Structure 1
């Protein structure tokens, strides 16, 4: 009887650890929130110059937000404490001593989804130099993985595109979670959807909003100069305020930041800034992706904007970024 019980216990352990395929092991779910990383570094380094450099590089403010918020939130633990459930953190920056200064990436080692960036250096001087020269690269690694994780979650709960006239008419594909509700979907190819922020990955009071539309491509040289003009004309036409003469515009006192990027392997422009309602006190951050669709001689535009008074907004905008970056133009 004892042998039978032992065999059953072993079998149960194998089943609980086994994956969908023979020989695979099911990893535990990772812990930790979006845009937050765990730095594994000696306490003496953390309170010294290497830690100061991490706080400087990783503490840079995200552009386009009303209040100062860092690109990433960072916490630290000594290597001696990096064990047990702490290893299940979804985003880890692990410092180790080695003869060569470099970084490497390990995915899903202790949990899933998980990314561990291993940073090696010979001494304190090399460690500081590594953070200075490759800090932005490390930040982008963590942010890209967070985007993928959010997109995977949203893909499992995406809305039915066949119900959205604008998405169908524009010939695009985009992953929008079901928690977004339709505000407007016109035959003029303009879509507005809204999510109440009481649920989801990022939570708080207020709303996240999505706009999708297109305009003709007249000249590639004037795209950047016209991004604000186009969004202001869309705001006047489709995004009204509470009274006549009120509508959404780009905030006059804050110049947006525009960067060249790629969406669906196509040339695009990312613009971050702040919106406001003309003649009113409503305001917040926006994120705009203007995608150059040369084949169809048009610009396909995704915009997300947040209204969440008196709370931090970085993670709300990050959700919108994940949705915007899922946009694909069907060939």
Structure 2
């Protein structure tokens, strides 16, 4: 009875908080890509909780090593206090026969801002797991997209003005290059910036090429183009070495509309031919129909022996936020 009452009060509070957007809310807490799961202990330890854990603990796409998409923590509804409910990403779930069917709700800025909240309810474990099977990608993407937007908002305030201006003026784009991108190099239709860190190297490249054929946006064409551009512009540390795509780690390809124009995305692993270096990359190739060209922006990371998730995600936010100027 005590647990039922606590859950009822918790649900009502969630509804009231999400309806009132006029309340001045505190800033979120926690580190990027942390998700707080709110559920009773018995549910968290059940088949239902395992399904949630496995979803959030799934491997970061585009990396050959096991690296979880999120860092996961758990709290019961009774311990979900005002000092905890300001977590940046929250997933709340409850399984009870009081529910007639499984439901999924996405909410923003419930207890803090900018906050992402997912709530899942179901009448039984079978219905819960079925819902999760159908929506696990959307749930993970909801949290990832929230983190991207937070990082992009940060870069809107704190960015390298000189290199950002060079990139925007040269390629006719709108972007913000992170403040730590202190070095840059120009080539023919090519721009390369880097933080030059010896611990965690983060680099961004931008290049263009003519849009002449529909097969431009196949995975093979784009990766072949990438390798030719990198070989010409990014030498490796030893004589004759150069940057390339690691084809033995299957790249992940998808396409979508980005600011009303076609965009292809590839996540994968880069390597240096003739040397022992490598790391994750994410690239967008977008059609600029007005100027008959393709614009590519890519971020890549070199961080041997370290977790690479947050570092490549930081550059991912730059890639996603970059736009082709329309005027």
Normalization by structure 1: what TM-score?
Answer: 0.85
Partner of 1:88: helix, strand, or coil? coil
Is 1:130 the equivalent of 2:131? yes
CA distance in 1, matches of 2:305, 2:282: 19
Q: Which residue of 2 aligns with 1:195?
A: 195
Q: Is the 8 A contact 1:264 1:327 kept in 2?
A: no
1:94 maps onto 2:88 in alignment: no
Residue 261 of structure 1 corresponds to 256
The 3-state SS of whatever aligns with 1:113 is: coil
SS in structure 1 at match of 2:106 = strand
How far has the Cα of 1:128 moved from its partner? 2.0
Q: CA deviation at 1:240?
A: 0.8
Deviation at 1:158, TM superposition (A): 2.5
Q: Distance in 1 between matches of 2:322 and 2:164?
A: 17
The residue that corresponds to 2:279 in the other structure is 284
8 Å contact from structure 1 (residues 287, 305) kept in 2: yes
Q: CA deviation at 1:159?
A: 3.0
TM-score by structure 2 length?
0.86
1:280-302, CA deviations, whole angstroms, 9 ceiling, x for partnerless residues?
Answer: 11111111111122222111001
Aligned equivalents of 1:137, 1:182: Cα separation in 2: 37
Structural mapping, 1:1-331, within 5 Å: 25-96=23-94, 97=96, 98-160=99-161, 164-186=165-187, 188-195=188-195, 205-224=199-218, 225-331=220-326
8 A contact 1:154–1:176 mirrored in 2: yes
Task: Give the aligned partner of residue 18 of structure 1.
Answer: none
SS in 2 for 1:155: helix
Give secondary structure in 1 for the equivalent of 2:195: strand
Segments of structure 1 that go 5 or more residues without pairing to the other structure are 1-22, 199-204
| Offset of residue 197 of structure 1 | 5.8
Separation (CA, whole Å) in 2 of partners of 1:116 and 1:166: 36
Distance 2:310 2:163 in 1: 29
Which 10-residue stretch deviates more, 128-137 or 231-240? Answer: 128-137
- Distance in 2 between the 1:181 and 1:71 partners? 29
Q: Decide whether the 8 Å contact of 2:163 with 2:177 is kept in 1.
A: no
User: Hey, what's the Cα distance between the residues in 2 that align with 1:166 and 1:208?
Assistant: 16
Residue 8 of structure 2 corresponds to which residue in structure 1? none
> How far did 1:252 drift?
4.0
Query: Radius of gyration: which is bigger?
Result: 1
Deviation of 1:172 after TM superposition, in Å, equals: 0.6
Aligned residue number for residue 15 of structure 2: none
Rounded to whole Å, the distance in 2 between the matches of 1:254 and 1:110 is: 41
Question: How far, CA to CA, are the matches of 1:281 and 1:162 in structure 2?
Answer: 29
Task: Tell me how far 1:217 sits from its aligned partner.
Answer: 1.0
- Per the alignment, residue 202 of structure 1 pairs with none
Gaps of 5+ in 2: 1-20
Deviation for aligned residue 1:150: 0.7
Q: Distance in 2 between matches of 1:162 and 1:59?
A: 36
Instruction: From the superposition, tell whether residues 101 and 196 of structure 1 become closer, same or farther in structure 2 (CA, over 3 Å).
Output: farther
Distance of 1:261 and 1:117 partners within structure 2: 24
CA deviations on 1:123-180 (whole Å, 9 max, x unpaired) are 2222222222222211111111111111111101133368644431321111222221
Q: For the Cα contact (< 8 Å) 1:166–1:190, is it kept in 2?
A: no
- Check the 8 A contact 2:251/2:268 in 1, yes or no: yes
Cα distance in 2 between the residues matched to 1:321 and 1:268: 14
My pick for the range that moved more, 59-68 or 45-54, is: 59-68
Name 2:11's counterpart in structure 1: none
| Deviations, residues 30-54 of structure 1 (Å, cap 9, x unaligned) | 1122222111111111111001211
